[in-house]
Structure 1
Amino acid sequence: MDTLIRFIKFPISFDVDKLKSDLLGILNKSWTAHYNKNDYTGKWTSVALMSTDGKSNNIFALSNTGDEMMNTEILASCPYFKEILEHFHFEKTAVRLLQLAAGAEIKPHSDHCLGYEDGSFRLHIPIITNPDVEFILDGKRLMMKEGECWYIDANFTHSVANRGNQDRIHLVIDGVRNDWTDALFYKEAPENQFVKPEITMSEEQKLLVIAELKRMNTSAANELIKNLK
Structure 2
Amino acid sequence: MDIEVPLKELGEYDIAPLREAILGLDEPVWKDNTYRQQEYDVHRQTESVVMIFTDGAGWPEIEVTRERGWELLADTALPLMQKLIEDHYPPGGTIIRAMAARLAPGGIIKPHRDKHPSFHYGHRIHIPIVSNPRVRFTIDGRPYRMEIGKVYEINNQMQHSVMNKGQEGRINFIFDYVPPQHIGASGLANEAASR
Q: What TM-score comes out, normalization by structure 1 length?
A: 0.63
- What is the root-mean-square deviation in Å for CA atoms of aligned residues? 2.7
- 8 Å CA contact 1:12, 1:148 repeated in 2: yes
- The aligned residue for residue 7 of structure 2 is 7
Secondary structure of 1:65 counterpart? coil
Structure-2 change in CA distance of 1:142 and 1:122 (3 Å): same
Secondary structure of 1:76 counterpart? helix
TM-aligned CA deviation for residue 24 of structure 1: 2.7
* Counterpart among 101, 105, 118 of residue 104 in structure 2: 101
Equivalents in 1 of 2:57, 2:66: separation in Å?
A: 16
1:22 aligns with 2:53: no
- The aligned residue for residue 41 of structure 2 is 38
Q: Which amino acid aligns with 2:24?
A: G
Relative contact order, higher structure (CA 8 A, sep 6+):
2
- After superposition, the C-alpha distances for 1:83-122 in whole angstroms (9 at most, x for unaligned) are 1133224311111111100101111111115798x43221
Equivalents in 1 of 2:6, 2:107: separation in Å?
A: 24
- The aligned residue for residue 81 of structure 2 is 85
- The aligned residue for residue 176 of structure 1 is 178
- 8 Å CA contact 1:51, 1:70 repeated in 2: yes
- The aligned residue for residue 67 of structure 2 is 72
Length, aligned pairs only: 167
Q: Whose Rg is larger?
A: 1
TM-aligned CA deviation for residue 6 of structure 1: 2.0
Structure-2 change in CA distance of 1:70 and 1:24 (3 Å): same
Equivalents in 2 of 1:63, 1:173: separation in Å?
A: 20
* Counterpart among 47, 51, 76 of residue 49 in structure 2: 47
Q: Which amino acid aligns with 2:103?
A: L
Secondary structure of 2:168 counterpart? coil
Which ranges in structure 1 are unaligned for 5 or more consecutive residues?
Answer: 53-59, 180-229
Which ranges in structure 2 are unaligned for 5 or more consecutive residues?
Answer: 86-90, 182-195
TM-aligned CA deviation for residue 149 of structure 1: 1.0
Structure-2 change in CA distance of 1:50 and 1:154 (3 Å): same
Map of 1:98-137 to 2, 5 A cutoff? 98-112=101-115, 118-137=120-139
Moved over 4 A (4+): 60-64, 113-116
Q: Which amino acid aligns with 2:108?
A: E
- The aligned residue for residue 218 of structure 1 is none
Secondary structure of 2:38 counterpart? coil
Equivalents in 1 of 2:98, 2:156: separation in Å?
A: 16
- 8 Å CA contact 1:114, 1:153 repeated in 2: no
Equivalents in 2 of 1:130, 1:6: separation in Å?
A: 21
- The aligned residue for residue 209 of structure 1 is none
Equivalents in 2 of 1:49, 1:145: separation in Å?
A: 23
- 8 Å CA contact 2:112, 2:159 repeated in 1: yes
Secondary structure of 1:35 counterpart? helix
